[in-house]
């Protein structure tokens, strides 16, 4: 017996109890299998279930990230290609773009640096926000930079976005109006959901026994990277504001904490 789309979605969602969004996961997989967007699926569920849907459900049931299965993730106003070897963009990280927009209200940044750019997440979102800006994305992962370059090309931003292999800000002599960074901040001993722990790159997640190792590397570099009147916007773990603020203060920077939509401390805006 062939299931209808509503029945197939319900059956799939029932297998995704580990997810915070089981029904949404099922809908995204069905839309991907049918090669339509989710809105089209919701408007017309009378079509036949794609033969490829079952295989996608099995992958998700094994807790593979949805973004790896579909190969894409929406972030801010753009869609990004992602896959194994890169950190999946999180909606919470959009708080950094919101904070930057507030910081530069009425005076758009001309040059933007994204440290730990991954698939180009923060840099390309910022360039979409400020069409006259240009920027540089740095990452230690060649795989991530491959995705970043492909995303820049897909968004017609390859002339505005350059990418380089590097270790945070080491060796960068230029100063930037806006510095963005989403360092690893999970303590080595902390547990994570299986879909994150078993699939996403550990180097983009874990940062030593207290989760602060990369902030210790980054903080002394920032003052030399921020142009006069500029700012750095740095993602943090929900319990790290005080510790990272202290590291930045030790480097001569003042920091203001910004919370995400869930009311959690999410990023610091640092200025000289």
Structural domain boundaries in the chain:
5-62, 84-271
Using N-to-C axis directions, what is the helix angle for 142-154 and 121-129, rounded to 10°? 20
Structure tokens at 167: 């270790």
pLDDT, position 227: 98
The whole-number average pLDDT for the span 225-230 is: 98
Distance, C-alpha 202 to centroid of its chain: 15
- Give the sheet arrangement for strand 176-181, strand by strand: 161-165, 134-139, 111-115, 176-181, 226-235, 265-271, 254-259
Confidence label for 2 from pLDDT (cuts 50, 70 and 90): confident
pLDDT at residue 1 is higher than 70: no
Confidence label for 3 from pLDDT (cuts 50, 70 and 90): confident
Listed residue (84, 86, 91, 90) closest to 59, CA to CA: 84
The whole-number average pLDDT for the span 114-122 is: 98
Helix (H, G, I), strand (E, B) or coil at 177: strand
Alpha helices (H) along the chain: 5-14, 22-34, 38-43, 53-61, 66-70, 94-103, 121-129, 142-154, 194-197, 213-222, 241-250
pLDDT at residue 185 is higher than 70: yes
Q: For residues 199 and 207, give the distance between their C-alpha atoms in angstroms, rounded to a whole number.
A: 17
Whether the domain at 5-62 and the domain at 84-271 fall into the same CATH topology:
no
Query: Rounded to 5 degrees, what are φ and ψ at 174?
Result: -75, 155
Per the DSSP assignment, residues forming a β-bridge with 268 are 234, 257
- Is domain 84-271 in CATH 1.10.8.420, yes or no? no
Do residues 63 and 194 make contact, with C-beta atoms less than 8 angstroms apart? yes
Q: For residues 13 and 31, give the distance between their C-alpha atoms in angstroms, rounded to a whole number.
A: 14
pLDDT at residue 124 is higher than 70: yes
pLDDT, position 84: 94
Confidence label for 166 from pLDDT (cuts 50, 70 and 90): very high
Buried b (16+ CB within 10 A) or exposed e, 77-109: ebebbbbebbbbbeebbbbbbbbbeebbeeebb
Predicted structure pTM score: 0.94
pLDDT at residue 45 is higher than 90: no
The whole-number average pLDDT for the span 241-255 is: 98
The whole-number average pLDDT for the span 135-161 is: 98
pLDDT at residue 170 is higher than 70: yes
Per the DSSP assignment, residues forming a β-bridge with 186 are 206
Confidence label for 210 from pLDDT (cuts 50, 70 and 90): very high
CATH code assigned to 5-62: 1.10.8
The whole-number average pLDDT for the span 108-127 is: 98
Q: Average pLDDT, whole number, for the chain?
A: 96
Alpha helices (H) along 64-198: 66-70, 94-103, 121-129, 142-154, 194-197
Structure tokens at 155: 């968004």
Distance, C-alpha 82 to centroid of its chain: 10
Query: Rounded to 5 degrees, what are φ and ψ at 128?
Result: -65, -35
């Amino acid at each position: 017996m062939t299931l209808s789309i509503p029945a197939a979605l319900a059956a799939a969602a029932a297998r995704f109890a580990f997810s915070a969004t089981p029904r949404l996961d099922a809908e995204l997989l069905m839309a991907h299998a049918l090669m339509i967007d989710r809105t089209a699926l919701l408007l017309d569920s009378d079509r036949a279930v794609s033969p490829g849907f079952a295989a996608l459900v099995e992958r998700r049931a094994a807790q593979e990230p949805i973004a790896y299965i579909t190969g894409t993730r929406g972030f801010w106003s753009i869609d990004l290609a992602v896959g194994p070897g890169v950190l999946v963009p999180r909606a919470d990280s959009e708080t950094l773009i919101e904070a930057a927009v507030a910081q530069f209200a009425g005076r758009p940044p001309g040059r933007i640096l994204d440290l730990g750019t991954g698939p180009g997440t923060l840099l390309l979102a910022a360039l979409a926000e400020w069409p006259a800006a240009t920027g540089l994305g740095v990452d230690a992962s060649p795989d991530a930079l491959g995705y970043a370059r492909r995303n820049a090309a897909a968004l017609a931003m390859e002339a505005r976005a350059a990418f380089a292999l590097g270790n945070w800000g080491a060796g960068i002599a230029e100063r930037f109006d806006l510095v963005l960074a989403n360092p690893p901040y999970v303590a080595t001993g902390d547990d994570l959901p299986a879909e994150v722990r078993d699939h996403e790159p550990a180097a983009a997640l874990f940062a030593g026994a207290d989760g602060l190792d990369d902030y210790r590397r980054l903080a002394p570099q920032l003052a030399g990277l921020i142009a006069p009147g500029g700012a750095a916007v740095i993602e943090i773990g929900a319990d790290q504001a005080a510790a990272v603020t202290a590291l930045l203060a030790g480097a001569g920077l003042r920091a203001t904490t910004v919370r995400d939509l869930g009311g959690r401390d999410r990023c610091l805006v640092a200025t000289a």
